[in-house]
Structure formats: C-alpha cells, structure tokens
Amino acid sequence: MNRYIVINPDACIGCKTCEAACIAAHEKAGLQSAARLTVVETKGVSAVSLCHQCASAPCLAICPTGVITRENGIVRVDEQRCVGCKMCSIACPYGAVIPSGTSVAGVAGVCFRTPRYPGSASPLLKWEAGVAACAVKCDLCAGASESPRCVDACPTGALVLIGQETLDADLRERRLRAAEEMEAVSVESSKVWRSQWV
C-alpha cells in the first residue's frame, strides 16, 4: 500500500510547525535532527516539499550501499549505515532526500572551525570538514511515532496522510467524470452529424 502525505497549499500558512514536529519526533527516536520536509514559500503561496514514497523509488534504485529500503510501502534510510554519497538526493524527482550531518563545532580536540553557509545554499553543495552527512527523508515517522507528527501538528489541517484506497477512489471518480464527458461529447457530435445529413 502506497501511503504518503499531501498538502493543500491554500490552507498552509507557512508556520513551519510541521518541520519542528518532524525534528522533535526523529530526535527522540535517536535519528538526525533534521526536518524530513521543507516549507517552501513564495510571494503568495506556501507549501511543503516532502517524499512521495514513489512506487519506482529512484533513491532506492540508485543507492550504491543498499541502505535505502522499502518496508511496508515506506521508503526508509538506515542513517547509521549511509555513506553520504548524495546520489539519492540527486535522483529524487521531488528534492525530498536531504543530506544532513551533526556538526562537530565545539567538540573537544577539533582544531578547525566549522564553516558557515548561507541559508540559501543547497544542502547538496554544503560540505563541512569532520561532518559525516547522511541522507534523511520522510519515513512517515515509522519507528519515531505512531502517525506522521507533521500531520498531527499542522494547525490548519493542510497536511493529510492518504493511502492507496483514497487514490483508487479518486481515480475511479476521475474516470467516471471523463466517461460522462465523453458520452456528452459523443451525443452532441452525433446530433451535429445528423443535422448535416438530414
């Protein structure tokens, strides 16, 4: 069953509560303290970019070490075994796999300063000496929480977890609507044809 989170951009207010809830849930589970989703804001719209749990999963297919797996329809990364090659980040069509590493700034014995990067720099371009980056992506909070924390925390209900049954019902409705439209076009064109020949 392919489940993933969808967003209603009209309801999103860009508060980033979803990011905070995501970070808290994964930190509590002992994983990287990075949000598995990104709030993207433009002049008039804010929305969330996150993993679609693709059926083809390009990130899973390209991973050279096999640390990305599919478990119960959820594509997951084993952060402890990830080598940080960033191939999955490049392969993801949604930009939903983000390299992240825990900074070594302030750790005893480190004789270099951790470089600072502007917030606009892509995580793919960042590199910090002594910091081993690993891939992080939405795993629907599997192992970190009973349900996706971002969905539960969203104050406006802009985020919704949908499953295959919802997708199937939506597809059936679209097909029925298309068939009705085709039937109406067929009836109309047959009237036009008859009027020309009668």
**DSSP secondary structure code for residue 29 in this structure:** T
pTM more than 0.75: no
Which region holds residue 169: left if phi is over 0, alpha if psi is between -120 and 50, else beta? alpha
Inter-residue contact 143 to 79 (CB < 8 Å): no
**DSSP secondary structure code for residue 187 in this structure:** H
- Which pLDDT score is estimated for 89? 92
In the chain, where the domains are located: 4-162
- Which pLDDT score is estimated for 125? 65
For 171, counting Cβ atoms within 10 Å of its Cβ (0-12 exposed, 13-18 middle, 19+ buried), the class is: exposed
Residue pLDDT tens, the chain, 198 long: 578 898 999 999 999 999 999 999 988 888 888 899 999 888 888 889 899 998 899 999 999 999 999 988 899 999 888 988 899 999 999 989 988 876 544 444 444 555 555 555 666 666 666 667 889 999 999 877 778 999 999 999 999 988 877 777 878 898 999 988 888 877 777 777 777 766
Bridge partners (DSSP) of residue 4 are: 162
- Which pLDDT score is estimated for 31? 85
